[in-house]
Amino acid sequence: MKNDTVNIGLIGFGTIGSGVVTILKQNMDLIEKKSRKKINLKKIVDLDISTPRGVDVDPEKLSTNVDDILEDEDIDIVIELIGGYLPALDFILKALNKGKHVVTANKALLAKHWDEIISAAEENQVKISFEASVGGGIPLLQPLNESLAANNIQSIYGIINGTANYILTKMTQEGLNFDSVLNEAQDKGYAEQDTTFDVEGHDTAQKLILLTILGFGKYVKEENFHVEGIRNITPEDIIFNLEERGYVIKLLGISRKTDNELEVRVHPTLIPQDHLLASVNGVFNGVYIEGDAVGPVMMYGQGAGSMPTASAVIGDCLDIINNPQKEIPFGPLKENPASLKSIENVKSKYYIRLKALDHPGVLHSIAGILSDFNISIESVSQKKLDDGPAVPIFIVTHKASENDLRSALKKIDELKDIKEKSMFIRILEE
């Protein structure tokens, strides 16, 4: 920073933006002590500057015109918190091109426009920081980039969407089904009205792209890897796996090296109850990073929310102030796309659920098809029910390729005694 005072411009006065203003008010002494500079939140821009945010702001600082930040030569750091692709991309590029450092929580934008944004930062010799974009307030990207920099990263996997984790946790703890938990969460304001992005895994996928870039230096697009959400999980899946097998279901983002390829995938995953991730409940996030030297480490905390996310935003501002020349370890990655292992070639153990008529011979036919595809069965459980002739069957397999599993299930689903098509959940490899 050129001067003793650092001027900050905030674009987006929503949930996280209000948190930023609150922390800057509340902890300014501490923050200035750590930055050895005066910090001045000079301007806050939002389309709506009249609705009260629960924090006092000098009205002169408020504006609806983004150029009051982007064109102000005194502003050193721009915090972008409006989210989405446009106009956020324009604002960020303009700020970088004006020689301003940028802090953002915008995972969607970074995941999609990585090279464009990073190149603009490099060309203008300014920084773009985005700790808040993955895992909210959890120190995650900085440790991955810096503390663990001596490691060849082997794998990164974790729970990085709080809404999906909240729903699965409630389903597990209270035996409720997906829809009733979701409705309750929406009524109480814990979940957005449109949760497609969270429950179908896209939010997890975007964050996983950023973790993959930083962990492996490889670029990957969402359309090139498997992304599957949690809508098909039923209470009976949860109960069977927990009570009979000691496994819990979590929505994981997984990115890991195998042979010379990267496996990148998002899907519900069965995790042994004594694995630390199995205890990451509610809106909390937890991410495992495995390095060749350090072994496994895990970071845990609140992956969303006004104050936790704002904590990461201000942490980034302090990092820029204290280390303005520090660079992101990987620059533009156009030349460095990941060589991806297709999900069909990934090997895993599986839990399978299907519903079949309770005839002698059904299990025999199913086992035969699985065997034809070289899939061995670890256990089979068939529940007697009072409500009809079809019974749910739960199968746990030994390790098999997903290609074989899908082919086998396709054949099984064609059996005449099958009354409800199969679904399966992958089991975390240990």
Per CB under 8 A, the segment of 5-13, 63-71, 271-279, 363-371 that binds its own copies is 271-279
Residue 4 in contact with its own copies, rule: CB under 8 A: no
Region 306-365 residues binding its own copies, contact defined as CB under 8 A: 307-308, 310-312, 314-315, 318-319, 322-323, 325-327, 329
* Calculated CA dihedral for residues 3, 4, 6, 7, nearest 10 degrees: -70
Encoded one letter per residue, x for contact with its own copies by CB under 8 A and - for no contact, window 141-170 reads -xx--xxxxxxx------------------
User: CB-wise, 253 or 301, nearer to its own copies?
Assistant: 301
Is there a contact between 266 and 251 (Cβ–Cβ < 8 Å)? yes
Residue 389 in contact with its own copies, rule: CB under 8 A: no
Q: Which two tokens stand for residue 423?
A: 């679904």
Considering the complex, what minimum distance in angstroms separates the CB of residue 14 from its own copies? 17
Residue 30 in contact with its own copies, rule: CB under 8 A: yes
Considering only 180, 279, 339, 371, the residue that binds its own copies (CB under 8 A) is: 279
Residue 212 in contact with its own copies, rule: CB under 8 A: no
User: CB-wise, 302 or 397, nearer to its own copies?
Assistant: 302
Considering only 89, 199, 251, 280, the residue that binds its own copies (CB under 8 A) is: 280
Residue 125 in contact with its own copies, rule: CB under 8 A: no
User: CB-wise, 334 or 398, nearer to its own copies?
Assistant: 334
Q: Report the alpha-carbon distance of residue 350 to residue 394 in Å, rounded.
A: 10
| CA 50 and chain centroid, separation | 33
Considering the complex, what minimum distance in angstroms separates the CB of residue 316 from its own copies? 8
State phi, psi for 275 to the nearest 5 degrees. -75, 140
User: CB-wise, 307 or 377, nearer to its own copies?
Assistant: 307
Residue 54 in contact with its own copies, rule: CB under 8 A: no
Residue 237 in contact with its own copies, rule: CB under 8 A: no
What residues does 40 pair with on adjacent strands?
Answer: 7
Residue 17 in contact with its own copies, rule: CB under 8 A: no
How many binding residues for its own copies (CB under 8 A)?
A: 54
Considering the complex, what minimum distance in angstroms separates the CB of residue 256 from its own copies? 17
Considering only 3, 26, 232, 258, the residue that binds its own copies (CB under 8 A) is: 26
Considering only 246, 296, 388, 389, the residue that binds its own copies (CB under 8 A) is: 296
Single out the catalytic residue among 100, 127, 207, 250. 207
Considering only 187, 259, 274, 386, the residue that binds its own copies (CB under 8 A) is: 274
Q: Is 2 a catalytic residue?
A: no
Q: Report the alpha-carbon distance of residue 7 to residue 16 in Å, rounded.
A: 19
Considering only 10, 21, 31, 304, the residue that binds its own copies (CB under 8 A) is: 31
List, by residue number, the catalytic residues. Answer: 207
